[in-house]
Amino acid sequence: MLTLEGRLFLPGLHNWDYPKSSVAGLLNEMTAKFEEDPPLSTRATGDKDPHDLLAFVSNLQINDGASRVVRHHDQSVKVSVIGGGDLGMASVMSILSKCKVDKLVFIDVAGCSTKGGSTDLDIFSLPKVEVSRDLSASAGSKVVVVTANAWSSDQSYVSVVQTNVDLYRGIIPNLARLSPNAIMLIASQPVDIMTHVAWRQSGLPPTRVIGAGCNLDSERLSHTLDINLNIHKPAWVIGEFSDNKIAVMSNTGLSSSVQPEIVSGSSSTKPLLDRGFEIIKNRGQRSWSVGLSIADITNSVLADKMKPHSVSTLAQGWGGIGAEVFLSLPCIMGAKGSTRLAGVSLGQEEDSKLRDSVSSLSNLMSQLRI
């Protein structure tokens, strides 16, 4: 309340009790009080709004856990790519070409084996691109793409993956803290494991931590079915990003506005999918191809396209999967993250491959120190 002397009385400030009280809590109370009865007023001049102060306060993002306040602009579109090397550079260039962004931050990470490219971007500066080696430059991103890898010379595969997990431990929690509302898109290898690790370390909801997974293979398969085999329905490659991945088809056409559903395994679709798989199997996963795939997913988020992508996501509960594992599954991608399509019964061969992947990924995760 505002006293006759012009002083503002707030219970939260009057009853301040450190450390129980926080600036974040005080600002929340001030925001509520100011909306009821603005304590300041001004004479309107020109087109200016006399309630600019309220607009400013409403644009403050309050993070109570970190006891800090960050100003953000809902209209500003910022994307960060974490990790140098060919894939990081390919992701930067592809996102710039595909997506409408106001700023793209490219961060080389210390201890990352996929370094390089940032110096060249410093030399040949590009519009909208900021090059940094400080994770704080990513603050306020709508999408955070992580391409960083830290491969070691150890012989054990578990040890090699553990090196990547250790690298993530130093960056993922900070990225989540700096951009608490971001969609985190993982492209480090092995992608299903590293997406799982990122979800665990970030504390973000599983709908906002996804991996690039089998999106590239899925887009290639759909294109092949459409152009080569005259099958005009979306198809997705799902499962583990390995030799165990399998293909499924949608029940709707490519141009349909109806949300697609996965067709149950049948003898009629399998030969077509197998043939399409055979056509694309030797195309490889080059950095530029993966970068284009990453940009496509990023664009679906930024533009809220609600487009289906096969991305690595928490698979627990899908199709009877009981374990906590991440697998590529068809998900609708939009501004709020991912929404899985409903699970279906698969053919015996496909179901067996999926179960083998669940077992192997669970076993590997149990050996890692997250």
| Domain edges within the chain | 11-71, 78-211, 215-366
What 3 state SS string does 118-167 have?
A: HHHHHHCCCCCEEEECCHHHHCCCCEEEECCCCCCCCCCHHHHHHHHHHH
CB 102 within 8 A of CB 77: yes
Residue 295 has pLDDT above 50, yes or no: yes
Residue 65 has pLDDT above 70, yes or no: no
CB 145 within 8 A of CB 301: no
Determine the Cα–Cα distance for residues 101 and 116; give it in Å rounded to an integer: 23
Fold of 215-366: L-2-Hydroxyisocaproate Dehydrogenase; Chain A, domain 2 (3.90.110)
Fold of 78-211: Rossmann fold (3.40.50)
Question: How large a percentage of the chain has pLDDT more than 70?
Answer: 73
For residue range 3-13, list pLDDT tens digits in order. Answer: 555 566 666 56
For residue range 80-115, list pLDDT tens digits in order. Answer: 999 988 899 999 999 999 999 999 999 988 666 555
SS3 329: strand
SS3 107: strand
Q: Which residue has the tokens 């962004």?
A: 101
pTM of the model: 0.76
Buried b (16+ CB within 10 A) or exposed e, 354-369: bbebbeebeebbeebe
Determine the Cα–Cα distance for residues 348 and 263; give it in Å rounded to an integer: 15
Which sign, positive or negative, has the C-alpha torsion 62, 65, 68, 71? negative
* C-alpha distances in Å from residue 35, one per residue of 2, 21, 42, 60: 14, 22, 16, 14
Strand order in 209-211's β-sheet?
A: 129-132, 103-107, 78-82, 143-146, 183-186, 209-211, 307-314, 326-334, 337-340
